[in-house]
Structure 1
Amino acid sequence: MRFTHTLRFRLIVLSVLCTAVVSLAGNLSLYGYLNDIINQRAAHIDEIYLSTLQSQLNTYLTDLNDLAVLCASDSTVSRSLNASKAEAIDAQERLDAYLATSPVQNYIDVLSVVNDEGLIVSATAQTFGELHDYDAIRAQPLYQQAVESGASQQVGVVQSIHGGEQALAMIRPIQGLGSRPGQGYLYVELNLELLDRALEPYTELNPLFVAEASGELVTARPAEVSDDFTAGELTDGDCMIGGRLYEVRSEPLSMGGLRLYHCVLQTELDQEGIHILYTVIAVVALSLLLALCLSVLFSAYFSRPISRLNDRLRRIAANDFSFDPAIEKPQDELGQIGRTVNEMSMSIQHLLRETEAMYNQRRNIEIDLLQSQVNPHFLYNTLDSIRWMAVIQKNPGIANITRSLSNLLKNIAKGTQDKIPLREELGLLNDYIAIQSVRYLETFTFENRVPEELYDCRIVKLTLQPLVENAIFHGIEPTGECGTITLTGRAEGGDLYLCVEDDGAGIEPERLAGILTTERKRSGSSMNGIGIANVHKRLQLIYGRQYGLKVESEPGKYTRVTVHLPKEV
């Protein structure tokens, strides 16, 4: 009898076939399960990319809007509309100053103020002004819309006045002190290269672009699409682009009717997923009868690595992305899947670290931006006080005020983000009060009632000085009478509370409601331009949102600002 006709052969063949069927069914099922998880993670990562890019592009557009608001509401700029040469020069310097401090200054091609009388005042932007700029601006359809509609602002994609390239233009009426409605307009052009550079790091993965409401692209055209392609053909969901199926997602940007489009290529596995599912179900159903007799033998072989993979996936779902070598031990398909899972975990962990690093970098930048430099007007006022002391009093007081000024400058030059003992902060505050006492002679008195046992607690440098400065300028000085500023402090549990209170003019309820969220215009009498809102934001960035300032006031009676910090020694 030939071996092929024996029962042993038949059992071997049957066992091999049964094992192959069960193994195929198990691997396909597991592959589909893991593929679903990977697709879900990929979709989540794509959402993070899209949200991050949307936030970044909106930040650029917000910076552009902030620049336009600052320039259009400036009184020096509005006075230049009277066509005085000196006022026009002052306005140009003011526009240059605003542009120099804008985060998008390197992409501003045009920043000009025009009126109907032939006046044009231009800042020194990335492109040089030309003789035809005035006529080119007034010929822009966007400018005509702003004039005809009387709207507060017009934004849109236009042809640049300095060439044929597209640019994002903003036209805003001048609304500074003394200006009349429609007397003049601010015209700003933003180079769309800014949007291209923001998208460039991500375009290698999937097509990304920004388009107008009409569907015309305003950023670089992806290589996957033809020259006649417009975004108006796309809707959120599955769409055909260049003969390939993509999942399209779009998000609106904050102005100009622009939208950000993100296209994700659908793989063949996604298209055939439903067929694989039906096949696996059929194979498993047919294999159950054949695999029943061998389930005991095969269970030990399959259950252990599958359990390890299941445990690993549960840990991934619980945000544990550490490397697990145990799931890679099998030298078969399960081991390959384990390696794929580990690679996926490492990729997600790397992405999370990069996201955290980007957040920390942005947070540090925001903290640094809140640290203002010394206002030269304060130096001028102080030096003027010193001069009059020398002329009128002829006494050693000039040495004291000079020493106080020197101490302030020396400490501010070292930075304002450091944490120092409360004792040193009070020393800086005393130096500031010594200088202001000369300027505002017999206008206010300062009382320090902070217990000495709190002097070793550490706080952020220049936290108290802006609050006392605000009490002098906005509390005591407007009353025209002598007032008192009182500083108190206490410790409760693990927190430190410092309170600056004055008996001055107080704050109206409508202004009090937004005093911690609204940035006030920088005062020429301020030492460093750090207002109450900036102090509050700076403390929350450093210590957390549960800390910061609390402002209480009653008009005509008092204003009390309480600083809430963690107690650090």
Structure 2
Amino acid sequence: ALPHGVRDLLPDFKEGEDVVYRTMGDLDVFIYPIPRERCYMVFLIEPKSILSESWHLMTVVVISLVSGILISLILWRSMNRRVVQPILQIRASLDRARDGVHLPIVTGRGGEIEEVEELVSSYNRNVRYIDELAEKLSEQKTRYKDLEYKALQSQINSHFITNTLNAVRWLAIMQKATNIKELIDAFSRLLKSTWQGLEHDTTIERELSNVQDYIFIQQITHSYNCEIFYDVEPGLLKAPCAKFILQPLVENAYFHGIAPKGGVGTIRIGIRPDGEKGRIIIQVTDDGVGMDRETQVQVLHSQGGGSRFNGIGISNIHQRLQLKYGEEYGISIESEVGSYTKMTVVIPWMETGKEEGETNV
């Protein structure tokens, strides 16, 4: 059933005959001979049909391409809003923190993307925690400065200065004693240590020197009726420590432990290492009147040290040590009424510290 004229185009059977292509009106004719089977394969194609099919295929391709682009844009916008934007906000926030700017809260949400939601929530929790730590640190710095100021105000009170100067005056007029120079030197060293402030650490050796100067002055001004015994590990003398933690303990041990008891008393100062925990243990023990448990709590935790104690309050030293080194450090009290009082100071064992500045007195 070949169209008219196509049969005339059939070639003779020859081995290896090529495909015959002819154009007949609106038809493209392709003839492929198969000699073995003594037959032909004839293809009749209308170019218009092919073109029509091509346009239809092109339309499908274009529509598919446009649809793919639109879907990609929608997905990108959604991912950008729910994933990219929160991550970019976190990065920008961290960049601001690196420049010293306060960390902001990230407002982007992860929606139904659980991982992004958890990331944003975790970041915001950490930001709030950092804000709380910063506020707490600021309060602690303010509190520490206030304690430093109170310590400096109380270190040498007006009565102590007046009594010392009166002693110097009367010694100069009546006795003309050679120990006047020693008294003035000791007093000057105490003033120098006080005026240098609390900004830098001192050493165990300098704290002991302050105690010795203080005791020397008190022996002259108050006929200090007390024996002092030292048990100090030599290797700790150069160890750094906070200022004004030893002399106030000795002062309180005498005036509020031994003096009320009457007679000759003893104060023992022991300083030893706690190598296993990397700490230094300082103990000041007196054989005075002691104190009950309620008084111990008042002395250790009252603001200002309690009305019974003058100078730097024990609570002031305790709070300063905890703010400076941590809550595991500070002062503890062991006492028995009518027998003894032992005050134990625990500080970290550091190998080096900042040197004090020079102040002329």
TM-score category, normalised to shorter length: 0.5 to 0.7
How far off its partner does 1:475 sit?
Answer: 1.0
Number of matched pairs: 279
* 1:364 corresponds to 2:141: yes
Name the SS for the 1:401 alignment partner.
Answer: helix
8 Å Cα contact 2:333-2:342 kept in structure 1? yes
How far off its partner does 1:533 sit?
Answer: 0.5
* 1:496 corresponds to 2:280: yes
Q: Which amino acid in structure 2 is aligned with residue 517 of structure 1?
A: H
Alignment root-mean-square deviation, CA:
4.1
Q: Equivalent residue for 1:227?
A: none
CA distance in 1 between counterparts of 2:301 and 2:256 reads 17
8 Å Cα contact 1:488-1:500 kept in structure 2? yes
How far off its partner does 1:25 sit?
Answer: 4.1
Q: Deviations over 1:129-148 (max 9, x none)?
A: xxxxxxxxxxxxxxxxxxxx
How far off its partner does 1:398 sit?
Answer: 2.2
Runs of 5+ in structure 1 lacking a partner? 41-201, 206-266, 282-305, 320-343
Name the SS for the 1:480 alignment partner.
Answer: coil
Q: Which has the larger radius of gyration?
A: 2
Q: Deviations over 1:220-255 (max 9, x none)?
A: xxxxxxxxxxxxxxxxxxxxxxxxxxxxxxxxxxxx
* 1:482 corresponds to 2:295: no
- Correspondent of 2:192 among 410, 417, 433: 410
How far off its partner does 1:406 sit?
Answer: 0.7
CA distance in 1 between counterparts of 2:172 and 2:309 reads 22
Residues 397 and 3 of structure 1: CA distance in aligned 2, closer, same or farther (over 3 Å): farther
* 1:550 corresponds to 2:332: yes
8 Å Cα contact 1:378-1:524 kept in structure 2? no
8 Å Cα contact 2:332-2:343 kept in structure 1? yes
CA distance in 1 between counterparts of 2:264 and 2:88 reads 70
CA distance in 2 between counterparts of 1:525 and 1:356 reads 34
- Correspondent of 1:378 among 160, 164, 186: 160
CA distance in 2 between counterparts of 1:2 and 1:359 reads 78
How far off its partner does 1:366 sit?
Answer: 2.5
8 Å Cα contact 2:249-2:343 kept in structure 1? yes
CA distance in 2 between counterparts of 1:367 and 1:521 reads 15
Residues 522 and 554 of structure 1: CA distance in aligned 2, closer, same or farther (over 3 Å): closer
* 1:432 corresponds to 2:201: no
Q: Which amino acid in structure 2 is aligned with residue 16 of structure 1?
A: V
How far off its partner does 1:354 sit?
Answer: 8.1
- Correspondent of 1:459 among 224, 228, 241: 241
Q: Which amino acid in structure 1 is aligned with residue 147 of structure 2?
A: L
Higher relative contact order (CA 8 A, sep 6+): 2
Residues 522 and 562 of structure 1: CA distance in aligned 2, closer, same or farther (over 3 Å): closer
Q: Deviations over 1:406-459 (max 9, x none)?
A: 110011111133212211111111101111222331522211111222111111
Q: Which amino acid in structure 1 is aligned with residue 160 of structure 2?
A: F
* 1:507 corresponds to 2:284: no
CA distance in 1 between counterparts of 2:172 and 2:130 reads 60
Residues 514 and 33 of structure 1: CA distance in aligned 2, closer, same or farther (over 3 Å): farther
Q: Equivalent residue for 2:59?
A: 9
Q: Which amino acid in structure 2 is aligned with residue 568 of structure 1?
A: M
- Correspondent of 1:31 among 65, 69, 81: 81
Residues 417 and 530 of structure 1: CA distance in aligned 2, closer, same or farther (over 3 Å): farther
CA distance in 2 between counterparts of 1:525 and 1:386 reads 26
Runs of 5+ in structure 2 lacking a partner? 1-50, 91-101, 352-361
